[in-house]
Structure 1
Amino acid sequence: MSQQSRQILEPTDVQFTSGGLSCSAWLYRPLGDGPFPVIVMGHGLGGTKRMRLPAFAEQFAAAGYACLVFDYRHFGDSEGEPRQLLDIGRELEDWKAAVAYARSLDDVDPAKIILWGSSFGGGHVLSTAADDPRLAAVICQCPFTDGVASSLAMNPVTLLKLTVLALRDRIGSWLCARPVMVATAGRPGTTALMNAPDAYDGYLGIMPPDGGVPNHVAARFALDIIRYFPGRRTPQIRSPILFCVCDTDSVAPAKTTLRHASRAPRHEIKRYVDGHFDIYVGKAFERVVRDQLDFLRRTVPTN
């Protein structure tokens, strides 16, 4: 890699406030004079900014886009107790706080704010974009769109076990007990939020080389996911939006995603034969990044 490329891709540690707590983020700035378009990037269920998001941000920054890659409260380097508390309402607040922070940055064009979300974060960007017509564009990668569809994709026995753990955790939270944790990803037949055949290896495959990201979240989340339907908000999104859909997605069923995607007024859809975790790495990653850069250059040019 050239010295210029290293300078383009070197992130800066920054923080912004959400709900009175500090969210940790990396800011990637291209070389040259701004103002730059900026892509606000967040991960999926239980994920942190260290889980392959830098690979995407580096590609975008090299193409002239600033990137703000953040951790939700209670996860990664951000503040929040208890740790590993996955709360949909709080994560949506974090997205709005990240967008507000991005708009305040020097050398950034506040009229060129782009959202990029993957998996559960892909659902969050739908909700966030529906509330913010000023966004320049949205990229929605293998998105969670429908709580019922994702829940029905699970084995009924696993779903029952998750519900029992979730109830224990929710009741315990009322009594100030320690959270009851459940695995984020597990082998088929184990009790985990994701236990499809490709989930465990796929999830571990996007971990940072040094590990360090817990593979568990507070179980109470399982009571909330079935009532979350960000896909229903696509008709309200006025920004151009790219849906990157995996046809063999075992976590966010493609059929439901495509139905919701088609209802966005300014949608584009790219389909891939790959699975939910495949597009983060290897040739599948190269394909999806190429399509996303093409979308960005057409909808939010850097000059």
Structure 2
Amino acid sequence: MAHCARLFRFSGNRIWLALLAGLWAGHSNADEVVHLDSAAVKPTPFQVRVAQQSGQKLKSVPGTLLNGYLTRPLGEGPFPAIVLLHGCAGVLHNDRDVWPERLSSWGYVVLVVDSFSTRGVHDTCNGLLADRVYDAYGALDFLSKSSFVDSSCIALMGFSAGGITTLEAEQLGGAERLMDRKFKAAIAYYPICSTANGDMAVPTLILVGELDDWSLAKKCRDMMAKRSGKGSPVSLEVYQGARHAFDAPEFKAPVEAYGHRVEYDAAAAEKSFSDVRAFLKQAFGG
């Protein structure tokens, strides 16, 4: 496995959502606000064949302009990088500040993708935004063209709904097969695993809490048991006693959201950070 350049060089539902979003909207450690396009939606080979048979020509649907938050380690690079996808409540403190600071201290460039603001979306906690898969690949393209990024070493990382998108983006034979650029690895924090079959195109780490009543650990264990074995290795870590968003310090005071308990767990959080760092090091050949 090729090594990445300069790896680790440096060490009421709507009410609470609105309060959290407003609390952190102007409080960021991100180095730079950037603008990027989501990837164009390409027709599948099957759709192309059907269209050709009827004398039609299908075109890709242009991407959507998005906002992003870019954080870089000190130095010129090129550095390995992480595309980070937020949860159903939008970009919160854990996404915008905490994880970018942590990952950049490990030597990674971090691009947090805001899938909501330019679309006028407030939250998707009662559903999913399918286009977020193309947001992830648009961010990959953006980073791959940056001189300070090692384009061969970019991972995708998502939380909750962003974790679901991460699994969807890297599911073997899915959207990833239509994309010119590929991620190197994927990390999904507390996704709903019943939406995926578990066969992944890249090495994947899934992290869930044993007591999570929103993203059930059982569903992830079931998914792992039903995997065909095709594709890349997939690892599942289940943290005892932990609930949804166990890594997010803004939930030190537990919150009830959409009928589910959201709560920070320091022990599970610290263990997951160690697991993520080790996984990235292995995936990037460090």
When normalised by structure 2's length, the TM-score is: 0.65
Q: Determine which of 110, 115, 118 is the counterpart of 1:79.
A: 118
CA–CA distance in structure 1, aligned partners of residues 120 and 207 of structure 2: 33
Instruction: Confirm or deny: 8 A CA contact 1:56 1:289 kept in the other structure.
Output: no
Render the CA deviation track for 1:21-74: whole Å, top value 9, x for unaligned. Answer: 4211111111123111110001121321544442122111101111111110xx
Alignment-mate amino acid for residue 293 of structure 1: R
2:223 alignment counterpart: 260
CA–CA distance in structure 1, aligned partners of residues 224 and 120 of structure 2: 35
SS at match of 2:131: helix
1:107 alignment counterpart: 148
The answer to whether residue 281 in structure 2 is matched with residue 297 in structure 1 is yes
The answer to whether residue 237 in structure 2 is matched with residue 270 in structure 1 is yes
Render the CA deviation track for 1:195-217: whole Å, top value 9, x for unaligned. Answer: xxxxxxxxxxxxxxxxxxxxxxx
Q: Structure 1 residues 64, 301: CA separation in 2 closer, same or farther (over 3 Å shift)?
A: farther
Q: Determine which of 134, 141, 145 is the counterpart of 1:93.
A: 134
Identical-pair percentage: 26
Instruction: Confirm or deny: 8 A CA contact 1:39 1:68 kept in the other structure.
Output: yes
Render the CA deviation track for 1:143-167: whole Å, top value 9, x for unaligned. Answer: 1222xxxxxxxxxxxxxxxxxxxxx
When normalised by structure 1's length, the TM-score is: 0.62
CA–CA distance in structure 2, aligned partners of residues 249 and 108 of structure 1: 35
Following TM superposition, by how much is the alpha carbon of 1:299 offset from its aligned partner in structure 2, in angstroms? 1.6
Instruction: Confirm or deny: 8 A CA contact 1:49 1:70 kept in the other structure.
Output: no
Alignment of 1:169-184 (within 5 A): none
Q: Which runs of 5+ in 1 are unaligned?
A: 147-228
**Count of residue pairs the alignment pairs up:** 207
Instruction: Confirm or deny: 8 A CA contact 1:36 1:109 kept in the other structure.
Output: yes
Q: Structure 1 residues 283, 238: CA separation in 2 closer, same or farther (over 3 Å shift)?
A: same
SS at match of 1:89: coil
Instruction: Confirm or deny: 8 A CA contact 2:87 2:160 kept in the other structure.
Output: yes
Q: Structure 1 residues 269, 87: CA separation in 2 closer, same or farther (over 3 Å shift)?
A: closer
1:70 alignment counterpart: 113
The answer to whether residue 173 in structure 2 is matched with residue 132 in structure 1 is no
Instruction: Confirm or deny: 8 A CA contact 1:38 1:65 kept in the other structure.
Output: yes
Following TM superposition, by how much is the alpha carbon of 1:102 offset from its aligned partner in structure 2, in angstroms? 1.9
Instruction: Confirm or deny: 8 A CA contact 2:166 2:186 kept in the other structure.
Output: yes
Q: Structure 1 residues 109, 261: CA separation in 2 closer, same or farther (over 3 Å shift)?
A: farther
Alignment-mate amino acid for residue 114 of structure 1: A
After alignment, is 37-46 or 53-62 more displaced?
53-62
CA–CA distance in structure 1, aligned partners of residues 72 and 285 of structure 2: 16
SS at match of 2:34: strand
CA–CA distance in structure 1, aligned partners of residues 76 and 95 of structure 2: 27
Q: Structure 1 residues 258, 98: CA separation in 2 closer, same or farther (over 3 Å shift)?
A: same
Instruction: Confirm or deny: 8 A CA contact 2:156 2:187 kept in the other structure.
Output: yes
SS at match of 2:118: coil
Instruction: Confirm or deny: 8 A CA contact 1:243 1:261 kept in the other structure.
Output: no
Task: Name the structure with the higher helix share.
Answer: 1
2:90 alignment counterpart: 47
Alignment of 1:194-209 (within 5 A): none
